[in-house]
Amino acid sequence: MNIPKQKKDKKRIWLDIRDSFLIQLKQEINKNVTKKNILIFLFILIVSLSFFIGGLLGDSDKNPSSSSIKDDPFYQSKKQTTVKLSYAKKQELAKKQTERFVKEYFTYDTRKMDRSTRIQPMVESAFYQEEKEADIHIRPTFEIVTVAFRKMENVYIQPLNEGFLWTATLFMEVSNGNGQKSIQKNNVSIVLQSSIDDPTKWLVSEVILYAEEDS
């Protein structure tokens, strides 16, 4: 392990002090000096040692290790925000995120709406607030009691400003008040934006649903 030059210098000074003290102590002992003089030399040694140790500790505080810097939350946050992804990787991440979102968003029970809670990690805050308000007002009707996502076709994703536009044809199973089930087919467009906190995460900001005959 390499020792910084400054620490080497301090160590050499300490060794010089120690050696000088031992030589003088030996000389004084040979002269039969008093116990008082020996104590004075010991005091000088202790004071020198205190300054030496204090200097080492001070250097440690001024020069934090690289590992402690890397563990700092601010450093990690800054590192995350500088992640650069290829266009193909961004598109792949956005596509996967949208497909997860679609399965949650188009599956719900109008008798106990909790859709906004399930989609919250996958959407922007403004969109979440809109859906949270909608959940409060949605009630069962004779035509629609439950909706369950079944499959998607004609999936396509393309760039849109700083984000992506995802389009597909969705098939949902709808049950009515009599318990009868039917397949509902709709075209849908979904807008995605990159998360500010995590550039590898894509969030839904808008959903546009079209009846098949309108497409």
Q: Encode pLDDT of 189-198 as tens digits.
A: 999 999 888 8
pLDDT at 214: 40
Query: Is residue 147 scored above 50 in pLDDT?
Result: yes
Return the pLDDT at 36.
60
- With CA atoms as reference, report the closest residue to 127 among 208, 197, 187: 208
Write down the pLDDT at residue 26: 66
Question: 179-188, pLDDT tens digit by residue?
Answer: 999 999 999 9
Is residue 78's pLDDT more than 50? no
Q: Is a pLDDT exceeding 50 seen at residue 9? A: yes
Domain boundaries, the chain: 5-63, 86-214
The mean-pLDDT minimum among 57-66, 116-125, 126-135 falls in 57-66
Share of the chain above pLDDT 70, in %: 64
Is 14's pLDDT higher than 90? no
86-214 CATH, one of 1.10.1740.10, 3.10.450.540, 2.30.30.60, 3.40.50.620: 3.10.450.540
Spell 56-71 as b/e; 16+ CB within 10 A means b: eeeeeeeeeeeeeeee
Which strands sit side by side in the sheet containing 146-160, from one edge to the other?
108-109, 146-160, 163-175, 181-194, 202-211
Torsion of CA 117, 119, 120, 125, to 10 degrees: -120
The Cα 53–Cα 160 span in angstroms is 62
Of the chain, the end-to-end C-alpha distance in Å amounts to 70
Prediction pTM value:
0.60
